[in-house]
Amino acid sequence: MPEAAVDLPAERSLHRAGEATSPRRRIPPRVSARPRSEEWTDDELLTLPEAAALFWPDGPITTNTLRTAGHQGTLAITRVAGKFFTTPMAVRRMGAEHPVPVARTPEAVPDVSAQALFQVKLAEAKRLGRERARPKRAAERPAAPAPKGRAGQ
């Protein structure tokens, strides 16, 4: 006889307000021993999971986020034996080298017509085209090789 489907009680299937909807991240042992970033020296090596757990224990930054920042060049990362390492100082500097651009005021932008902008771009393209001269095409060269000896005369 087939088993009947059993409905779970409502208190088991629904999350209560105040409960986390997903399980907490696993905290690496070295970070659980020293959970404050001030307890780490600036040049001490951290794995990326340790750095994420130390600086953003419940935040939006994860190991993958730090790895992506390393590939983009915004976080200094060292790779040793297939593992990625960083330092607390590198994490603090992450994003500091790329300041947010200041919005330009409308009066700082010169009023340029579309025709004038086109002329400037066309002149630049012509200038670049002269610097990159193409070699002579094969069609401009003779198609048959020059004859050797008396047979071709």
**What is the pLDDT averaged over residues 45-52?**
92
- How confident is residue 86, by pLDDT bands cut at 50, 70 and 90? very high
Average pLDDT over residues 131-153: 62
Predicted confidence (pLDDT) at residue 99 exceeds the cutoff of 70: no
User: Quick one: pLDDT at residue 108?
Assistant: 54
Alpha helices in the chain (DSSP H): 10-13, 29-33, 48-55, 63-72, 88-93, 114-131
83-86 sheet: strands from edge to edge:
46-47, 83-86, 78-80
pLDDT over 80 (residue 31):
yes
Domain layout of the chain by residue ranges: 24-93
Instruction: Determine contact, residues 48/88, Cβ cutoff 8 Å.
Output: no
For residue 132, pLDDT beyond 80: no
Task: State residue 122's pLDDT score.
Answer: 83
Taking residues 32-59, report their average pLDDT. 89
* Tokens standing for residue 111: 């009023």
User: Does 12 or 113 have the greater pLDDT score?
Assistant: 113
Cα separation, 146 vs 143, in Å, equals 9
Share of the chain above pLDDT 70, in %: 57
